[in-house]
């Protein structure tokens, strides 16, 4: 069983980023994987404390211990972010700074992001460098969306763009392929 931890890095309500993360998680489930979503809006983390950088499991706050134990157990990750000033969000960086290389080493990481009016790859490009620093393996296919790809329905965003849906399917397939290969 492939376990995938998906970090949703938007604190907006509702969030396009969360819709992307939900879509990937649903496809992962269909392929027999176990997706675990951590929404940083619903489960905020304290500011990353360098005192616990090498042993984050010793952090006194339970919410950090939970994230660390999920990250340890994960075979793969998905990182999702809105575009904030041509990069990814601070809350996502804080989550990544709460973790360390032991959690990411040789594990595949999929990148998804939403921009305001344009599909921007900048946050994903920046995340790709960060993933390398964490010794993870950022997969080649990534997902970049913008607000025109969604429709607001009640309290959530729903993906309407067909090309985006196809992209998410190809992305998820590639993530699973990498996860199976790297776990073997």
What residues make contact with ligand FMN under the rule CB under 6 A?
Answer: 10, 12, 15-17, 82-86, 114-118, 120
Contacts of 184 (CB under 8 A, 6+ apart): none
Decide whether 15 or 37 has the Cβ nearer to ligand FMN: 15
User: How many helices, marked H, and strands, marked E, lie in the chain?
Assistant: 6, 8
**Spatial separation of the C-alpha atoms in residues 9 and 39, rounded to whole Å:** 7
**Least distance CB 70 / ligand FMN (angstroms):** 21
Task: Give the nearest distance from C-beta 2 to ligand FMN in angstroms.
Answer: 25
Rank residues 13 and 31 by Cβ distance to ligand FMN and give the closer one: 13
* C-beta of 100 vs 114, nearer to ligand FMN: 114
CA distance 43 to 13: 13
CB of 107 to ligand FMN, least distance (A): 24
- Indicate the residue among 121 and 174 with the shorter CB distance to ligand FMN: 121
Task: Give the DSSP letter of residue 33.
Answer: -
Residues 66, 69: Cα–Cα separation, whole Å: 5
Residue number with CB closer to ligand FMN (86 or 177): 86
Residues 134, 75: Cα–Cα separation, whole Å: 14
Q: Tell the smallest beta-carbon distance from residue 51 to ligand FMN (Å).
A: 29
What are the DSSP calls for 131-175, one per residue? HHHTT-EE-S--EEEEGGGEEEETTEEEE--HHHHHHHHHHHHHH
Cα–Cα dist 105/65, whole Å: 19
**Minimum CB–partner distance for residue 58 and ligand FMN (Å):** 32
């Amino acid at each position: 069983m492939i376990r995938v931890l998906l970090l949703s890095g938007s604190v907006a309500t509702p969030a396009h980023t969360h819709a992307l993360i939900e879509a990937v998680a649903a496809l992962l489930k269909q392929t027999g994987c176990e997706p675990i979503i951590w929404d940083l809006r619903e489960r905020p983390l304290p500011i990353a404390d360098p005192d616990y950088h090498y042993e984050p499991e010793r952090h006194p706050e339970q919410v950090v211990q939970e994230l660390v134990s999920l990250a340890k157990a994960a075979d793969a990750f998905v990182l999702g972010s809105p575009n904030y000033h041509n990069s990814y969000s601070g809350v996502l960086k804080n989550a990544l700074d709460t973790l360390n290389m032991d959690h990411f080493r040789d594990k595949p990481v999929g990148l998804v992001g939403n921009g305001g009016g344009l599909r921007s790859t900048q946050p994903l490009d920046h995340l790709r460098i960060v993933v390398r620093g964490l010794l993870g393996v950022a997969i080649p296919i990534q997902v970049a969306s913008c607000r025109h790809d969604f429709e607001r329905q009640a309290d959530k965003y729903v993906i309407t763009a067909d090309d985006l849906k196809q992209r998410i399917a190809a992305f998820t397939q590639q993530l699973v392929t990498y996860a199976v290969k790297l776990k073997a």
